[in-house]
Amino acid sequence: MTQPTFLKAWSSILATLVLSSVVWAAPAKAEESFVQCGKASWYNLRGTTASGEQADPNKLAAAHPSLPFGTLATVTNLRNGKSVVVRINDRGPFVKRRIIDVTQAAAQKLGFVQQGIAKVKVTSAAPLAGKNTPDNCQ
């Protein structure tokens, strides 16, 4: 086999392997993503969050009992359909039957500052990001 023929054959094999790996790298299944439904409240924490950063009510952040710090989660208000992406930087809520505490800025975007609480759906694309609960968001 001549060198140019050898290089063509090697290039074809390499291209096939690369394309095969792209096809085999399927996206995560829906059941591997985090979904949780329940009540959200908003809080105006001053001081330091559980992750050690300075709390800022003007940032889009949230407290969740099990999602890892730094996780980006989408919170959707089930009453009005408004959504916001928050970064988990704190632990909580510490009130029964609440699944997430969001900052005042996030609650403003979700449209429930006046009400104080809202029924929400929390999702995260991070596979196995936290403890899932049944998707009961009707």
Dihedrals phi, psi of 16, to nearest 5 degrees: -65, -45
The CATH code of the domain that includes 114 is: 2.40.40.10
Q: How are beta strands 98-103 and 83-90 bridged, if at all?
A: unpaired
In a domain, 63, yes or no: yes
- For 74-117, how does the pLDDT look when each residue is reduced to its tens digit (9 = 90+)? 999 999 999 999 999 999 999 999 999 999 999 999 999 999 99
* pLDDT value at residue 100: 98
Ramachandran class of 104: left when φ > 0, alpha when ψ lies in -120 to 50, beta otherwise: alpha
In a domain, 9, yes or no: no
How many structural domains comprise the chain? Answer: 1
* pLDDT value at residue 138: 61
* pLDDT value at residue 125: 78
Mean pLDDT score of the chain, rounded to an integer? 82
Q: Could you give the percent of the chain with pLDDT greater than 70?
A: 67
Residue range of the domain that includes 75: 30-124
In a domain, 74, yes or no: yes
